[in-house]
Structure 1
Amino acid sequence: MQSLRRSPLQLDVASVSPPYVIAIDGDHGAGKTKLAKELSRLVPCTTIHVDDYCEGHSKPYLELVHWERLSQALRGCQSSILILESVLLDYILEKVEIIPTYRIFMKRIEYGQWPYSHYIQPKAKLPNSQLDREVSQYYRIRRPWEKANEEVSFNAV
């Protein structure tokens, strides 16, 4: 994993009204959970992994999210710093009405390339996997790496 150019924890969190929200978005398997754990070891915070609020596996990802449980966890956050990580994170942030203070986008690199780079082209054939199709469509529409304060690449292969 490449290190961040500037740690989100080096920003002036005292000047931001709580909670300071670090949003970690990106490919599945890119290391979002690992990065969230590493950041949480550096500073007292609450970390929410959206996957922990999903039930089942056979539906589209956003239909798996138990929105009431996730909303309760977010409302119950007492920390001044919140780390929220997931795939399709823009959609989730919009649904729970959170505007992040700092965004990190994580890419999983395979054989020197980002697998989604060709799927995000407007006329490209989408992948077969349901989650990969959802992520590809999300990337085409939202382009979350363009909104990120930092982009991190993880070399998977």
Structure 2
Amino acid sequence: MTSLVRDIPAAPSAIALMHFSNRLTFETDCSDVYSSQEAGEIDFVLVDVRGPLAFERGHMPGAINIPTRLLTEQGLQGYAKTTLFVVYCAGPHCNGANKAAVKLAALGYPVKEMLGGVTGWLDEGFELSLPHAAGSPVNCAC
């Protein structure tokens, strides 16, 4: 008798290594972003892709607000094509960051999604910048 976990066998180690290594080229996490900021190693642009109201209610320190729908060639012309964008949204319940990553990649920019978004950031115990703290910071209008 086997568990539900073993119903489908695990991939061979070489394939698992390739899979999980490849995932890291697409993703980063809240802790890595925070640690990079704390160390002053900011070689990426952190983009909150939620709507302006959600951004005002609370966002990651150092983030800029570019809602997904505004990620266009014209809107990004001030950024070199080598600029690494790190995008986030409200949290795991929202696919706004994924949609933004698709748009940025289609425009030819390197991009990573910050897993967890605002929810993950708060779960890690990190604080948000709250210029006009009112209401829930997690709302998404991507």
TM-score, length basis structure 1: 0.30
Q: Which has the higher strand share?
A: 1
Point out the structure with max Rg over C-alpha: 2
